[in-house]
Amino acid sequence: MTSKITQDTIRIFVEDLKSTHGENLASVVLYGSAVAGDEAEQQYGFNVLVVLHSITPHDLRVAQAPIREWQRFGQPLPVYFTLSELKDASDVFPIEFYQMERARKVFYGVDPFEVMNLSDVNLRHQTEYELRGKLIQLRRSYIAASSSVEKLTGLMSESLATFATLFRPVLLLLGKDAPVKKVDAVRATVSVLGLEGEAFDRILDIRATGGETTGMSEHDANDLFAAYLLQLEKVIEAVDKMADHLNGKKV
């Protein structure tokens, strides 16, 4: 659990980064669901993008002091990029950059996303890759978790948080608004793709109550997982079918 972060805490961290990196510091950007006001996600910390004009081992080494203080509040390590790397990497990190672009607050310097060119073709490719990879991982994890209600509901709860993040680019590819809050992203995906949302709703309820599963049997938990898995497969199928459309062909 993270400590409560205030605007003053963030301001002091930014000032420490300015003192540490000097003129080499181009931007400090907070991004993600927590920045957008998702209180459920704020407990997991605030994501920070630190943009430098150039990065050497020395630049990273001297950042140890301010980052150590930042982590003292339970916050995750910042991500470091150069301005040129952000532009060059937009074709291989489109999901991450789309998400940063849609939920961000610039606390210092230039806004690096104002000049970034993001491609839907690259976004679709990475989205399908990530979805399929997470699905394979989910199936493997199910083998060990399937005999325990607690383990299985924990697996579904944790994995849905990950899939919810990937549902946002799915919505963007469909030309829809992509809510920043994970609960809203899940429900919007269910609506747009015409999925059966009951499994998602039940898992979201479990997540919201901190894993409360009173009265759920092992059989019930496994049935819920089966329904959940089926809906995830339908999302991936929809993303796969977008490929021809984005390449200018009929789906």
Q: What are the tens digits of pLDDT across the range 4-20?
A: 567 888 999 999 999 99
Among 140-149, 208-217, 227-236, where is mean pLDDT lowest? 208-217
* 207-225: pLDDT as tens digits: 888 878 878 999 999 999 9
Instruction: Report the chain's mean pLDDT, rounded to a whole number.
Output: 90
Q: Are 51 and 86 in contact (CB under 8 A)?
A: yes
> Are 7-115 and 120-246 in the same CATH fold?
no
Distance CA 85, CA 91 (A): 11
Amino acid letter, residue 35: V
CATH 1.25.40 assigned to 120-246: no
Distance CA 240, CA 23 (A): 45
pLDDT of residue 34: 67
Cβ neighbours for 216, distance < 8 A, ≥ 6 positions apart? 149, 153, 224
Mean per-residue pLDDT for 232-237? 98
Cβ neighbours for 191, distance < 8 A, ≥ 6 positions apart? 197
Token match 């747009």: residue? 192
Distance CA 51, CA 87 (A): 12
| Residue 103 confidence (pLDDT) above 50 | yes
User: Could you state, in order of their start, the residue ranges of all structural domains in the chain?
Assistant: 7-115, 120-246
Residue 37 pLDDT level (bands cut at 50, 70, 90): low
- Over its C-alpha atoms, the chain yields an Rg (Å, rounded) of 20
CB atoms within 10 A of CB 79: 14
Question: Could you name the CATH architecture of 7-115?
Answer: 2-Layer Sandwich (3.30)
